[in-house]
């Protein structure tokens, strides 16, 4: 017997882990095992890492629905280079910069 549309849906499982505030001195690098932090303005070399899901991908941060955010974190310079240099596909330097006129 065929299932109707509602019976085929699967529950989405989301796990949240809370880090006690006393363990974080400012912003903590999101890399597993890294304890590097900074306070105040972000130092040169650190990177924001934003992961989100959207049915209609948005290029504007403020258009991302809050419930669609998967991860909003920072990476230290070492792990920024490691992620971009070894784990992500090379898309070329021109594609890594913001479009002209978007600043």
Question: Does the structure show a pLDDT above 70 at 86?
Answer: yes
> Of 74, 50, 75, which Cα lies nearest the Cα of 61?
50
The rounded distance, in Å, linking the Cα atoms of 101 and 42 is 24
The pLDDT tens digits for 4-13 are 555 556 666 6
pLDDT at residue 42, as a whole number: 92
Better-scored residue on pLDDT, 9 or 40: 40
Domain boundaries, the chain: 28-57+68-90
pLDDT at residue 45, as a whole number: 94
User: Average pLDDT for residues 27-36, to the nearest whole number?
Assistant: 93
Sign of the CA dihedral with 30 first, then 49, 88, and 82 last: negative
Task: Kindly report the pTM of this predicted structure.
Answer: 0.58
């Amino acid at each position: 017997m065929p299932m109707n549309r509602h019976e085929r849906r699967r529950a989405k499982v989301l796990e949240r882990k809370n880090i006690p505030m006393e363990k974080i001195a400012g912003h903590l690098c999101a890399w597993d095992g890294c304890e590097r932090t900074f306070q105040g303005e972000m130092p040169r070399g650190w990177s924001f890492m934003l992961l989100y899901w959207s049915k209609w991908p948005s290029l504007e941060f403020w258009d991302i629905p809050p419930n669609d955010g998967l991860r909003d974190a920072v990476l230290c310079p070492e792990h920024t280079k490691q992620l971009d240099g070894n784990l992500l596909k090379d898309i070329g330097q021109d594609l890594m910069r913001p479009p002209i006129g978007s600043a």
